[in-house]
Structure 1
Amino acid sequence: MAVTTAITNLNEAHQRLNLRPANRADFFSEWQGELPALSPAEVDTLDRLKSRYRYYQVDGAITESTVNLILVSPLLELLGLCDPPYKLRGEKYVSIEIENGDTVLKGLIDELIVQDRFWLVLLETKR
């Protein structure tokens, strides 16, 4: 979501939206069922991406293009979401407004992947 005037960096987003890292195994109820096991290569890739993200996140001012390069593209590739039957759509101009107290944050869908009932939406962020 393009919140260039309201929120200018990741640290400010964490502070203003009261975001906290969640490392609990039960954080997502969807992950509690039977899931396919990850291969050792997939685990290594995810560990590397997590470390990479944390390295860049320390500064708190990660730009959209940096996130796309270091995290989003490798994850989409790892998940196979760039290939059929999935369709990747970038920069869809649909307005999204979120009320946060007295502030209304406005933004756009940056990337959208749709396959039947599965939707992956990435909201645009800009510095």
Structure 2
Amino acid sequence: MAQVIQASELTLHDVEEKFNLQQVEDEQFFGEWQGELPELTAAQKEWLDQVKADFLALEKYPVHEEIVKMVVLSPLLSLAGLFRYPFRPVAEKQVEIVVEEKDEVVRGRIDVLVLHQQLWVTVIESKSKRFSLSEALPQALFYMLNSPNLLQPTFGLVTNGSHFMFIKLIRQDMPQYGLSDELTLRRRGNELYQVLGVLKRWQQELINNNS
């Protein structure tokens, strides 16, 4: 009988070793989070300023993962247009990968998955603020490896509410992934502007590429 492993138990080494996954450090591999991003309106910036203020105020208390989704993720996905046709959000989707040579089955549930014509746009793994992004990264990569699209890259976002990191995964030959810099609400200004800009760019490019 195959050994069943929960995705939440995986380390980054586990994911890389079990699925022959390799990190790419070259900045050119993952340029989709950098460069010129879509312009935000004054109203969008005002909303994101309120999101930041709300989260930092709530952070004085224990913040559950569901609060992170409600206070931070929902406004970002809404402003990015990822709640509207042709995109479709799905929550708590069960995924499973069989590692035949090790006689293992890895299972887990995606926090938020946004679908576009069977293309997995972004897998979002949110954690309570007491968790670092390094704890969410292995799960997000595992979920992204479950994408049925071998020819298209899969993009992901991990966040604990105050910190954000984007992921790009390609699987055409050897599976490879790249990471963005870590964006945070801890600095002056509002780096949610850049987070939303990246999501809006992906939304626009995916619509254009599939129109």
- TM-score, scaled to structure 1: 0.57
Structure with more relative contact order (C-alpha pairs < 8 Å, separation 6 or more): 1
Match of 1:90 in 2: 91
CA distance in 2, matches of 1:72, 1:114: 16
1:18-37 Cα distance to aligned partner (Å, 9 max, x none): xxxxxxxxxx9534322221
Structure 1 runs, 4 residues or longer, greater than 6 Å off: none
The answer as to 2:43 corresponding to 1:41 is yes
What is the aligned residue count?
A: 94
CA distance in 1, matches of 2:49, 2:82: 19
CA distance in 1, matches of 2:126, 2:37: 29
Letter of the 1:93 counterpart: Q
The alpha carbon displacement at 1:120 in A equals 1.5
**Structure 1, unpaired ranges of 5+:** 6-27, 97-105
Cα RMSD, aligned residues only: 3.2
Specify whether residues 125 and 31 from structure 1 end up closer, same or farther in structure 2 by C-alpha distance, changes over 3 A only.
closer
Alpha-carbon contact 1:95-1:109 (below 8 Å) kept: no
CA distance in 1, matches of 2:41, 2:113: 26
Letter of the 2:91 counterpart: G
Match of 2:60 in 1: 58
Match of 2:113 in 1: 112
The answer as to 2:67 corresponding to 1:69 is no
Identity %: 36
CA distance in 2, matches of 1:62, 1:78: 23
The alpha carbon displacement at 1:42 in A equals 0.8
CA distance in 2, matches of 1:123, 1:36: 24
- TM-score, scaled to structure 2: 0.37
1:36-86 Cα distance to aligned partner (Å, 9 max, x none): 211111111111111212222233x31122122212222221111111011
Q: Which moved more, 1:111-120 or 1:34-43?
A: 111-120
CA distance in 1, matches of 2:64, 2:7: 11
CA distance in 2, matches of 1:2, 1:66: 22
CA distance in 2, matches of 1:95, 1:111: 16
State which structure, 1 or 2, has the greater radius of gyration over its C-alpha atoms.
Answer: 2
**Structure 2, unpaired ranges of 5+:** 1-5, 10-29, 98-106, 131-211
